[in-house]
Amino acid sequence: MNMQFDPTSPEFRTHPYPFYDQLRAFAPIFYWESQNMWFLTRYEDCKALLSDRRLGHVATPGNSMLFQNPPDHTRLRGLVNRAFTPRMIEKYRDRVQTITHHLLDDVQADGHMDLIAKFAYLLPVTVIAEMLGVPPADHVLFQQWSKQLVKGLDLADKTAFQEALEAALNAFNTYFSSLIAECRTAPKDDLLSALVAAEEAGDRLTASELYATCRLLLVAGHETTVNLIGNGVLALLRHDDQRQQLQEHPELIASAVEELLRYDGPIQLISRTVLEEMAYQGHTLRQGQVVGFLIGAANRDAAQFKQPNQLDLTRRNNAHLAFGHGIHYCLGAPLARLEGQIAINTLLQRLPTLTLDTEMLTYQDNFVFRGLETFPVSW
């Protein structure tokens, strides 16, 4: 392989897909010695090993279900599923639409905005904060905590911001301890009250599990949707034929969002730990080593997707891996889809002349979550 693999480099983070093409062709499964980490780039390999129970997580007490293995994961997922139901998500459809219109009302007369700061960030943080019973005055705290917590999921050395990460965790837990106490004495019609009340076979979420679940919902339900909206709108602005097709046929939005998730998804990397030594495709994966699933590469695999580097909003059989696969499939996927569909369709209908102001775009300094730092647009 005649290339230097460095997923933390600005070049890789800005334009990863040419690198992925080379990796799939010349090193579909490779070992990154400096991180003691294996990487998978092909769709078939990623899908197979995401379902392999020999890979999982090294969990610690109180962690969210994202970092748990069965049977603990099964118990936690079952409890949270009783609260985070499709019915509860669907109940927010009208609210998501209303928030979207309000955000566009605030900027429409200006003729320009940073689409990330003024729209893509504010919609999901408002929704998930409302779902968790956080009053509007405190939504800005959510944004601050989320930025710190997301850094803790990246590949980069965390020592530089470990203090800020721990401060965000402590502040988050302190804040939610009072909210949870209120829900125990005076339950409301929101997700947090439902999580507190969730019970199955006489079991409940512990306090630490509640905190961890709320953090997971904040980060996964917030950051993922920010990047889905940002990356999706950018792809449409760079493919005018597809953008025009969606504006003329808004009923295509469900298929369009699936294609935008595949084409330039919000999550680029999913990690698992080898729980027991195993052989795979001629390689020996040793216990304790980490396996990185390069989801962005798998979703551009020509063995699975016809003309994978082409954006096609009407693509059929689009079984992408943007939300993962297997028992850890993203719990918040239905909410992210709902928000993405409403946000993108409403934006295109309300601002039909939306234009990208510059091609000099900066991506967040995070490889796991792929998203723009700023996104200047005008109309």
**pLDDT for 2:** 46
Contact 270/324 with Cβ under 8 angstroms? yes
The matching CATH number, chosen from 3.40.50.1820, 2.40.50.1070, 3.90.960.10, 1.10.630.10, for 10-378 is: 1.10.630.10
Give 68's DSSP letter.
-
Strand order in the sheet with 112-114: 112-114, 376-378, 355-356
Give the DSSP per-residue string, 194-247. HHHH--BTTB---HHHHHHHHHHHHHHHHHHHHHHHHHHHHHHHT-HHHHHHHH
Question: Counting beta carbons within 10 angstroms of the beta carbon of residue 335, is it exposed (0 to 12), middle (13 to 18) or buried (19 or more)?
Answer: buried
Contact 94/349 with Cβ under 8 angstroms? no
Mean pLDDT of 240-250: 98
pLDDT in tens, 256-280: 999 999 999 999 999 999 999 999 9
Q: Between β-strands 37-40 and 290-294, what pairing exists: parallel, antiparallel or unpaired?
A: parallel
Give 278's strand partners: 285
Mean pLDDT of 306-330: 93
**pLDDT for 1:** 45
Q: Which range, of 89-93, 289-293, 320-324, averages the lowest pLDDT? A: 89-93
> What Cα–Cα distance (Å) separates residue 3 from each residue in 10, 23, 137, 145?
15, 9, 49, 36
The total of other beta-carbon atoms located within 10 Å of residue 126's CB is: 21
φ/ψ of residue 39, rounded to 5: -130, 140
**pLDDT for 229:** 98
Give 100's DSSP letter.
H
Contact 331/84 with Cβ under 8 angstroms? yes
Residue ranges of the domains in the chain? 10-378
Omega of the bond prior to 124 within 30 degrees of 0, cis?
A: no
CA atoms of 186 and 190, how far apart (whole Å): 12
Instruction: Give, rounded to a whole angstrom, the gap between the first and last alpha carbons of the chain.
Output: 45
Tokens of 264: 């330039």
CA atoms of 340 and 233, how far apart (whole Å): 10
**Stated length of the chain:** 379
pLDDT in tens, 83-126: 777 887 888 899 999 999 999 999 999 999 999 999 999 999 89
pLDDT band at 338 (very low <50, low <70, confident <90, very high): very high
> What Cα–Cα distance (Å) separates residue 128 from each residue in 219, 277, 356?
10, 40, 28
Nearest CA to 268 among 218, 231, 317?
Answer: 231
Report which of residues 19 and 66 the model is more confident about. Answer: 19
As a whole number, the mean pLDDT across the chain is 88
Helix, strand, coil tally for the chain in percent (to 5):
55, 10, 35
Spacing of C-alpha 371 from chain mean position: 10
Mean pLDDT of 203-228: 81
pLDDT band at 77 (very low <50, low <70, confident <90, very high): confident
Nearest CA to 12 among 301, 268, 214?
Answer: 268
The total of other beta-carbon atoms located within 10 Å of residue 323's CB is: 22
- Res. 205: pLDDT tops 50: yes
Angle 158-120-375 from CA coordinates, rounded to 5°: 80
φ/ψ of residue 32, rounded to 5: -100, 100
The total of other beta-carbon atoms located within 10 Å of residue 306's CB is: 10
Q: Which range, of 14-23, 67-76, 101-110, 243-252, averages the lowest pLDDT? A: 67-76
